[in-house]
């Protein structure tokens, strides 16, 4: 049940929609189509209106901007859902700017004083009450600590949680109506979209969480020549107040200034691609809001430029499985192996298992082949992902939130990179990285590493096995375990048991040889010895080789 404040807000929303001519879209829905003729009776439709010169996407964007910062933020999140929205609307929503008037400095002071439980002068030697920047969730002030370090102080907007809660409840109401009465509502799942937005925006209100994201990303790129992440001052950071090292750089969107400074734009562009693939495939932790407003350039050495990132409220992660399938998808796509792309989507669970591979392969080929008529430097990775998602949607592909964030980030990086260097060949830059990563994942060293990583877990569970077996046998003797197997199934079980026993024996012997040889290799072989000078080294390496051979010996005989 809506309260008076929510009803007034809903009336305000309707007034904004009408002002921008969006009643046409509303009256075209299944629920209102029977009374759609009423649009001709509305007085404001009797005279020409300015909005009729604009596209529907532009009208929606302008309406969201008039509705305020929470709806602007929602539009930004919605713009990433290229798997759901028509292209014209998604592109317009991507233009939404998260710029709102700053709130009074007295309110900022009150929030900071409350967070610290003492006046801000006890924490900061200097504090600039004039904000450096202001957005829908928070605004930023310059300050100086008593140790002389220059910092920026991010302060959450007063009362923002109540405002968000009110508007999110209205969004849920609108989404539920759309899902119930709009023909496309069930497919587009608007309630799920609002739920995803709710989680994202409430996560952004916790600045301690953002600080933790920044610390992790800083640790991943510590001493890196390609990306600098400012230091977090944990002693001064609270849920409503984040204190971070102040950085100075050129906004990456100011291409003219970068050229004036003589920055190597080709190197800068390539480094943007390197940062993206390093975050995704090496760390599985990536900055998911890398639009130009959050990226600066350290141009102190124009021949060796370095990126600087800020604003870590939205981060993305990928599971090892998603990483593997994504890398294989990229490689298979650029090798034009469309059947493999189709198989990967099914194997990963992104599309239903009953999907026919040949039909899916044909659909992917139809989308992909026209792309290869253009030079590789003109092929869009982000466009490829978008085309794949839109094609897979016809085959009931489930929306993967982590892949949506990845697509958004890739589109940002790609657009930024080609703005810096129009001739950027993303494939040439990315292919060696992907191939190296795949080799490391499936090569012998990777197998050894994974076995070594599992040994502590095996050792931890081994003492429990006798008790587990005893408990199972005791329950069986009491009639608590019943097994019904047909003769054919029993014979199959016996064969599998024998194969498993041989596999376990081979794996154990192989692993033992590898581990013992590796340990001896580490402790007993002088670093200067060669294969010919140290027979022990030859024996040890032979032990590793035999271990790998035994571990991989075919068992299907």
435's tokens: 């191939």
What's the DSSP call for residue 328?
Answer: H
548's tokens: 């790998």
Yes or no: say if 104 and 139 are a contact pair by the CB < 8 Å rule. no
Q: What is the 3-state secondary structure (H, E, C) of 299-362?
A: CCCCCCCEEEECCCCCEEECCHHHHHHHHHHHHHHHCCCHHHHHHHHHHCCCCCCCCCHHHHHH
Angle at the Cα of 260 from the Cα atoms of 255 and 264, rounded to 5 degrees? 70
Residue 216 CA to chain centroid, in angstroms? 15
d(CA 294, CA 300): 19
Q: What are phi and psi of 123, to 5 degrees?
A: -105, -40
Angle at the Cα of 555 from the Cα atoms of 549 and 556, rounded to 5 degrees? 140
d(CA 278, CA 413): 13
d(CA 108, CA 158): 8
Q: Is 378 a catalytic residue?
A: no
Among the options 167, 264, 289, 311, which is catalytic?
Answer: 289
Report long-range pairs for 330-333 (Cβ below 8 Å, ≥24 apart).
330/381, 330/430, 330/434, 331/431, 331/434, 331/435, 331/438, 333/368, 333/384
Q: 449: helix, coil or strand?
A: helix
d(CA 248, CA 228): 11
Collect all residues with Cβ–Cβ distance below 8 Å to 358 and sequence separation of at least 6: none
Q: 304: helix, coil or strand?
A: coil
What's the DSSP call for residue 234?
Answer: G
Pairing verdict, β 241-245 and 306-309: unpaired
Tokens 């081979």, located at residue: 506
d(CA 492, CA 508): 24
288's tokens: 């998911």
What's the DSSP call for residue 159?
Answer: T
Query: Does residue 375 come out as left (phi exceeding 0), alpha (psi in the -120 to 50 range) or beta?
Result: beta
Yes or no: say if 513 and 521 are a contact pair by the CB < 8 Å rule. no
Q: What are phi and psi of 329, to 5 degrees?
A: -60, -45
d(CA 420, CA 254): 10
d(CA 359, CA 339): 10
Q: Which residues partner with 297 through β-bridges?
A: 250, 307
Residues with a known catalytic role: 289
């Amino acid at each position: 049940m809506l309260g008076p404040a929510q009803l007034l807000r809903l009336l305000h929303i309707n007034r904004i929609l009408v002002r921008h001519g969006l009643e046409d879209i509303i009256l075209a829905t299944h629920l209102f189509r029977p009374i759609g003729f009423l649009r001709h009776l509305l007085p404001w439709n009797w005279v020409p209106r300015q909005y009729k010169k604009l596209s529907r996407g532009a009208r929606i964007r302008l309406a969201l901007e008039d509705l305020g910062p929470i709806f602007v933020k929602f539009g930004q999140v919605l713009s990433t859902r290229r798997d759901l929205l028509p292209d014209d609307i998604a592109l317009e929503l991507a233009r939404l700017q998260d710029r709102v008037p700053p709130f009074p400095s007295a309110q900022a002071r009150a929030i900071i004083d409350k967070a610290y439980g003492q006046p801000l002068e006890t924490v900061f030697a200097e504090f600039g009450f004039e904000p450096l920047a202001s957005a829908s969730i928070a605004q930023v002030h310059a300050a100086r600590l008593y140790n002389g370090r220059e910092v920026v102080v991010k302060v959450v907007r007063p009362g923002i949680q109540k405002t968000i809660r009110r508007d999110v409840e209205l969004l849920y109401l609108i989404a539920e109506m759309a899902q119930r009465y709009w023909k496309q509502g069930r497919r587009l799942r608007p309630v799920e979209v609002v739920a995803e937005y709710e989680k994202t925006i409430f996560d952004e209100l916790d600045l301690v969480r953002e600080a933790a994201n920044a610390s992790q990303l800083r640790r991943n790129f510590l001493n890196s020549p390609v990306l600098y992440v400012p230091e977090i001052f944990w002693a001064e950071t609270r849920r409503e107040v984040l204190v971070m090292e102040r950085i100075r750089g050129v906004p990456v969107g100011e291409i003219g200034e970068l050229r004036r400074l003589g920055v190597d734009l080709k190197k800068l562009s390539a480094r943007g691609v390197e940062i993206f693939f390093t975050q995704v495939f090496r760390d599985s932790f990536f900055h998911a809001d890398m639009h130009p407003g959050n990226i600066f350039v350290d141009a102190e050495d124009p021949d060796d430029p370095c990126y600087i990132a800020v604003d870590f409220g939205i981060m993305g992660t990928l599971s090892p499985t998603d990483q593997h399938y994504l890398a294989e998808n990229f490689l298979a796509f650029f090798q034009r192996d469309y059947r493999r792309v189709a198989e990967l989507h099914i194997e990963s669970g992104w599309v239903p298992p009953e999907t026919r591979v040949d039909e899916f392969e044909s659909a992917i080929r139809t989308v992909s082949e026209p792309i290869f008529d253009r030079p590789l430097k003109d092929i869009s990775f982000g466009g490829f992902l978008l085309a794949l998602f839109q094609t897979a949607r016809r085959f009931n592909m489930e929306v993967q939130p982590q892949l949506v964030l990845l697509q958004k980030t890739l589109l940002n990086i790609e657009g930024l990179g080609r703005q810096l260097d129009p001739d950027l060949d993303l494939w040439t830059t990315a292919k060696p990285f992907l191939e190296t990563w795949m080799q490391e994942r499936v090569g012998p060293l990777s197998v050894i590493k994974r076995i070594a990583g599992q040994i502590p877990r095996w050792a931890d569970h081994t003492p429990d096995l006798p008790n587990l077996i005893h408990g199972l046998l005791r329950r069986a003797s009491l009639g608590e375990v019943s097994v019904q197997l047909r003769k054919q199934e029993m014979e199959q079980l016996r064969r599998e048991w024998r194969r498993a026993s041989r596999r376990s024996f081979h794996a154990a012997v192989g692993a033992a040889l590898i581990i013992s040889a590796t340990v001896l290799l580490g402790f007993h072989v002088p670093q200067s010895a060669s294969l010919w000078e140290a027979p022990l080294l030859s024996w040890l390496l032979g032990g590793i080789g035999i271990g790998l051979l035994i571990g991989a010996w075919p068992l299907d005989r």
